[in-house]
Chain A
C-alpha cells in the first residue's frame, strides 16, 4: 500500500492566485512527520515546510502553509500568491515515528504557474 499518495500529477495556476497540492498519507504510528520539498527544473531538492503529528497548529513558512487534517490523514500544501518561480515538481514525504532511516516520498505533483 502506498504510504504517501499525491493524486495530482500536474496542476496549473495563474500568477498571484493560490493553489493547493494534495497529499494523503498512511501510517498507524502516532508519531510522524510530514515534509514538502520543491524540485525546480534545475534538479535540486529544496525543503519547504515541516509538520509534526503532535503539532497543534498548521505549519507556515512565508507563502507556504500546510493544511494538516489528522483525522483525514491529509497534509496539503497551500501556496499563496503564486509566482512564476513556483513552477516546479513538489514532493510530499513522511517520516514515521523516530526512525531516522525512513523518509518516504510521494511521486510528486508538477505545478505550472502561468502569467
Chain B
C-alpha cells in the first residue's frame, strides 16, 4: 500500500471557521491531489501540486487554497467553511502525473 496518511480523519466545524486538512506521503511522489467526494458526483478535483510550491486549480477550487512547502506534505485550507463544503476529502499521489493515482484514507468533514 502507498504510504499516504490524512489528518484529521473526521472533523466537525462551524460555518465561517477556517479548516486545514493535511496529506502526508512517504513515497516521494512529485504529484499530489485533493479531491472531494459527494453523492451523485463521484470524485472532483479541487487542487493539485506538481512539485514543491507548485500548485494549480482543479474543477471545484472556489473557497479552497492549498500549500506545499515540502515534497511529503500537501495542505488543503477552507478559508471560511460553508455547509456546501461538507464532504469526504481524499488526497492522492502520483509519481509521474499520468500514471495511476493512489489515494489516502479520506477525511470526513462536516460543516454545521
Q: Which residues of A contact B (CB under 8 A)?
A: 4, 33, 35, 37, 43-47, 50, 91, 93, 95, 98, 100-103, 105-108
Contact = CB atoms under 8 A, between A and B. Distances in A.
B74 interface: no
User: A interface, by DSSP: helix, strand, loop or mixed?
Assistant: strand
Given A95-B98, A100-B48, A105 B103 contact: no
Contact of B42 (A35, A44, A101, A106): A106
B88 A105 contact: no
5 contacts: A33-B98, A37-B103, A43-B105, A45-B106, A105-B42
Interface of B: 31, 33, 40-45, 48, 50, 56, 58, 88, 90, 92, 94, 97-103, 105-106
B103 A45 contact: yes
Given A43-B105, A45-B90, 20 more contacts: A4-B42, A35-B100, A35-B101, A44-B103, A44-B106, A45-B43, A45-B92, A45-B106, A46-B103, A91-B42, A93-B43, A95-B98, A100-B31, A100-B48, A100-B94, A100-B97, A101-B33, A103-B33, A105-B43, A108-B42
Given A43-B88, A47-B100, A101 B44 contact: no
Select the residue from A45, A105, A106, A107 with max chain B CB neighbours within 10 A: A45
